[in-house]
Amino acid sequence: MASEKIVVCGGGGFIGGHLVADLLRQGKDVRAVDEKPLDEWYQRFPEAENLQLDLQEKENCERAIAGCSLVYNLSADMGGMGFIESNKALCMLSVLINTHLLMAAKDAGVERFLFSSSACVYAADKQTDPNVTALKEEDAYPAMAEDGYGWEKLFSERMCRHFLEDFGLTTRVPRYHNVYGPHGTYDGGREKAPAAICRKVIQAKLSGNHEIEVWGDGKQTRSFMWIDDCVKGTQMIMQGDYAEPLNLGSSELVTINELVDIAEEIAGVKLKRRYNLSAPKGVNGRNSDNTLIRKLFNWEPSTRLRNGLERTYHWIYDDMFSRSQRPAPLAQHTV
C-alpha cells in the first residue's frame, strides 16, 4: 500500500497527528485534514499534504478524500468529560462529518474507511460500579450510550455497518478507551483526565500550593491507553478482516485517586486533595475487555500507565515551561 494515498481526517488533532507521523515514517503518501487553522494543529508535517477544511460540509469531504484509497476518520468535536457533558449538541453535530465522509467515500470508490468510535457507546447500566466488569463489544446493546457524544458515536457505527452491507464500502470501527500521551491538549476545557491531572500536579509543584482539585470522589475507575498503542492498533484494525466494532484500549484498571498517586510519584510531591463532587465525572467504572482483539490479532495495548504517564508528564512540563518563557505580546497604543 506504500504508493496509495491515505487521508487522515482530524490530522491536526491529538490522535490524528500521531497517526500521520507514523504513516509518514512508513513512507506513506499522506493527506492530513482538519478544521483548525494550520498553526493550531497539535502536530504538522511538511511531508504531508495539509488541508484546512470543515468536514461537516459534504463538498469539503469530497475534496478531502479525492484520489485517496484509505480514509481514517478521526475527526470530531470532542474533549474530556468536562466538555462532552456541557456540549451535547456540538458533539451530536459530528454526525455530519461521518455521514458526509461515508457518502463521499462510497461515491469515490475508496478501498477502506475507518471510523474512530469510543467507549462512550457502552450502556450506562453496565458502568455503575467502580469494580466494573470489563466491557465486551456486545455490551453496547441494549443501547444506553453517553448522552450526546456516545449516541453520535453509536449512530455512526451503525452508519458504517449499513454502508458496508448496502453499498459494499469496507468499513472498520475501533472503539477507543481514553487515549493519552504527548502532543495533546492539557488545558482549556477539552483535556482528558491524564493530561488534566499532570497539569494540576505540575501547577501545584511550581506554585508551592500543594493542593489539587479532583473531580468526583476519586474512586471512579478507568483504563488509559498510551498513544503509540492506539496508533498501532488503529492500523491493525484498518488492515484486518474484522468488520464489527472492536475495543481498542488498555485493560489496566485504575481509580482516579491512583492516577493522581502516579502523577505525584513522577513529580516527587504529595498533595492535599479537594474532591469536587459537583464536577463532571462520567460513569463510575469503565474498562476494556480485550478478549476479542487478542483472539483476532494476538495483540492488545500493553504499555503500563506508569511508563506512559511519565513521558506525558515531562512533555506537559516542558511545554508549560516553554509557554511561560515566551515574551508577552506588545501593548497596542493609539495616538
Tell me the per-residue pLDDT of 8-54, one tens digit each, with 9 for 90 and over.
999 999 999 999 999 999 999 999 999 999 999 999 999 999 999 99
The answer to whether 160 and 102 are in contact (CB under 8 A) is yes
* Alpha carbon separation from 308 to 198, 293, 334 (Å, rounded): 12, 21, 50
Quote the CA–CA distance of 74 and 46 in Å, as a whole number: 20
C-alpha dihedral, 59 to 22 to 312 to 39, nearest 10°? -40
How far is it, in rounded angstroms, from Cα 9 to Cα 92? 17
Cα–Cα distance measured from residue 259 to residue 261, given in angstroms and rounded to the nearest whole number: 5
What pLDDT was estimated at residue 204?
94
Distance of CA 22 to the CA centre of its chain: 16
Residue 134 DSSP one-character state = P
Number of Cβ within a 10 Å radius of residue 333: 5
Of 149, 176, 313, 317, catalytic: 149
Q: Cα separation of 43 and 198, whole Å?
A: 20
> Which pLDDT belongs to residue 2?
43
Low-confidence ranges of the chain (pLDDT < 70): 1-3, 79-81, 324-335
Q: What is the pLDDT of residue 50?
A: 98
Pick from 210, 322, 185: nearest CA to 274: 210
pLDDT for position 248: 98
pLDDT of 218 reads 94
Residues, the chain, total?
Answer: 335
CA atoms of 185 and 196, how far apart (whole Å): 9
Burial of 314 (0-12, 13-18, 19+ CB in 10 A): middle
Alpha carbon distance 214, 274 (integer Å): 6
Residue 166: count of CB within 10 angstroms of its CB: 9
CA-nearest of 141, 177, 175 to 156 is 175
Do β-strands 253-255 and 221-223 pair in parallel, antiparallel, or remain unpaired?
antiparallel
- Give the model's pLDDT for residue 283: 83
Going by DSSP bridges, is the β-strand pair 29-34/49-52 parallel, antiparallel, or unpaired? Answer: parallel
pLDDT of residue 85: 76
Nearest partner of 173 among 187, 186, 191, 159, judged by Cα: 159
- What is the reported pLDDT for 335? 33
- Please give the pLDDT value at position 91: 86
Predicted pLDDT at 33 = 98
* Strands (E) located in 26-124: 29-34, 49-52, 70-73, 112-115, 117-118
Active site (annotated) includes residue 149? yes
Comparing CA positions, the residue from 196, 199, 201 lying closest to residue 269 is 201
Exposed (0-12), middle (13-18) or buried (19+): which is 101, by Cβ within 10 Å? buried
